[in-house]
Each structure stands twice: as structure tokens, then as C-alpha cells.
Amino acid sequence: MVLYGYYMSGLSEDAPEIAPGGSACIVAVDGGGTGCRVRLADSRGRILAEASGGPANVNTDFGAARRNIRAAIDRVYEDAGRSRRQAAGDVAWLGLAGAGFGDLARRMEAGLGFAAVRVTTDSMTTVEGALGGAAQGTVVLIGTGSFFVRREGGRDRHVGGWGYQLGDECSGAWLGRELLRAVLHVHDGLLASSPLTEAVSNRFGGDPGAIVRHAQAVEPGEIARLAPEIVAAHDAGDPVAGAIMARGVGILCERLEHLGARNGGTLCMLGGLGGVYERLLPAGYRGLCRPPRGNALDGAIALARRYLLALAEAGAGCGTGRGMKGNTGEAAG
């Protein structure tokens, strides 16, 4: 089992008991910059219901992320015909973008109304789902944000995932920012214009100040909306789009080389832009690519089942350590 001791850490003897083979259900949440997905399953992992909700990057807007996640959880219980109050006997695992910063994971865990809950980064659940428990492989997720993970001997090594302001290289938000920067460079005479930069400039009335104000005011998900336009322009031969995508591919290859992706195992390219970058990779890396065994919700279910087993085996329902914390908050009726 991958990092089994990590899942077991923090269990305490004073927590309510979750018995092996009991009626506890599992709630899995996958949350990112553009939305969240929730799955309710029984203790064997059989799906009872699924629901979706709004953006859930806890580092971008914690309050909105929490509201969106709670609303989606409420909806999945309703769709399954299960009372929300029954969550007091259930176990949850939430993989959320931004959860690795500060005390955001602990704050999200508080008051969700589950018998036991774990909040981790979305990279953990994504990697677990993609590799399906395999001890070796590389996972790259490129969507609104990005991260790069290499698993060796059951241990994960992470690169990136530092957010839009300082990281998220290759991502949709990064591509959008690069395009807006290119439009400003055209205005300054540093770069020749292209059909793509002209179209974007016209959208802002040819006012570079409007572009700056827009970039300062909107969330990463809004900037990332430019990504499909960049990809389409690249495919049509636009030189500026081509240069932006080439920089992205170059950064991706640097990350893969750093992580040792050629040293064994498959390479899974995930996220809305994963397939785009996969077809642009050099042949040596492209030949390593394989479809993921599962998605982030599958990974969260697998991790939650291990968590549930650990709790049952320890004779404790929840823990007091960071991330293995029971909830005393009331669930909404």
C-alpha cells in the first residue's frame, strides 16, 4: 500500500468507532479552479451518486470554494436518497487545488459534518487515480493550473502546483497570461503582431491599460478561457501562438527530465490541456504516454477506503492529527 503509514497517522483512541463492514459511506471530492465534482459510494466503492458544483480552489477564494463544495455534497446526498444527517457516520476524502497552503486543509475539514475527513491537495487524488496504486509512473495535470508528479517505489515527488501568481507553468492560466503579455509587447513594439494578438487587442479596444486592469481583476479561471483560442491559433499557424505553445512544451520537457520520467512506468497527461501537450511532445516522451487508470474521484475513493479500513482496524473513527481529524460540526439537515 502506498505510504500506508501516512494515512494512519494521527488516529486517536477517543474518536467514535467505525466498525469494519459497517454502513459507513464514502464521499470523494475533486475540486479545482473551474469546478468541483463529488461522488458518494458505499464502503466497497460502489457509486451511489455523483454531483458537480462551482469553483473550488481553496487558495483562490476559500469562502466560495467551501460554499460550492458543501452545496455539491448536499446535492449528492439528495440524489442518492440519503439524509445529509447520515454524513455523521460517513468518511470523506477531499482533493482540492490550493489545499497545500497554510492551514487551508485544516480549515476546510472543520465542520463538514463527517465522522472522519481528510483534505489533501488534488495532486494526491489525481496521481492515485491515474496510476491506480502502481508503484512507479509520472503524472502531469495541465488544466487551469498545473502540477507534475513522479512516483518511485510508492513515494511521490511533486514539482509545481504553486498557483497562478508564481507557478502553474504550461497551464491554461499561464497560456492566457502569456498571450496578454504578448499583446502588450506588440503595443510596445517588442513583438510583431499576429492575427491572434490583433483579435485580443481589439477585444479591449486597443487599450493596453484595459488589458492590465482585466488581468489584475479576474481569477485564473477567467484568464484560462483564452487557452482554447491560443491552441486553435497555434494549429492554424499563428506565429505568436506557436511561440507560446513552444515555450510551454519546453517547460514541460524540462520538468519531465528533472523528474526522471524516462526511468520507468507510464506517463499520464491529464487535464483539459493534457492531450494538447501530449501531441506536441517529442517522440521519446510521447511514446511513454498511456491513458490514466482512473480519475481524481477514483483516487479519492481509493484513499478514503484505505482511510476507512485504517480507522476500523485501529478501533477509532477519526483522528486528532493534521488531516486525520474528526468533525464535531453539525451537518445540514
- Report the relative pairing of strands 91-96 and 26-31 from DSSP bridges: parallel
CB proximity list for 143: less than 8 A, separation 6 or greater = 32, 33, 34, 171, 172, 224, 270, 271, 272, 273, 274
pLDDT reported for residue 245:
98
DSSP state, 85? G
3 state SS of 98: coil
Residues 144 and 23 in one domain: no
The answer as to whether 152 is a domain residue is yes
- Containing structural domain, residue 16: 4-132+294-314
Residues 141 and 128 in one domain: no
Note whether 203 and 107 are same-domain residues.
no
Task: Read off the C-alpha cell for 331.
Answer: 451537518
| Residue 146 and residue 31 in one domain | no
Quote the number of domains for the chain: 2
Please indicate, yes or no, whether residues 217 and 268 belong to a single structural domain of this protein: yes
| CA separation for the pair 58, 114 (Å, rounded) | 19
Torsion angle in degrees (nearest 10) through CA of 56, 57, 62, 66: 20
Q: What pLDDT tens digit does each residue of the chain (333 aa) get?
A: 334 333 434 433 334 444 444 578 999 999 987 899 999 998 888 899 999 999 998 888 899 999 999 999 999 999 999 988 888 889 999 999 888 888 899 998 887 889 899 999 888 899 999 998 788 999 999 988 899 999 998 788 999 888 888 889 999 999 999 999 999 999 999 999 999 999 999 999 999 999 999 999 998 889 999 999 999 999 999 999 999 999 999 999 999 999 999 998 999 999 999 999 999 999 999 999 999 999 999 999 999 888 888 877 766 444 433 333 444 333 333
Could you tell me if 217 and 298 lie in one domain?
Answer: no
Q: Are 188 and 277 in a shared domain?
A: yes
My answer on whether 101 and 37 are in the same domain is yes
Q: Is residue 333 part of a domain?
A: no
Output the domain CATH number for residue 178.
3.30.420.40
pLDDT given for residue 316 in this prediction: 45
Cα distance between the two ends of the chain: 36
For residues 91 and 202, membership in a common domain is answered with: no
For residues 308 and 267, state if they share a domain. no
**Do residues 73 and 29 lie in contact, with contact meaning Cβ atoms separated by under 8 Å?**
yes
C-alpha cell at 312: 476500523
Do 116 and 82 have their domain in common?
A: yes
Cell 466503492, residue located: 45
Per 3-state DSSP, what percentage of the chain is helix, strand, and coil (rounded to 5)? Answer: 45, 20, 35
pTM (two decimals): 0.75
Question: Is the same domain home to 109 and 23?
Answer: yes
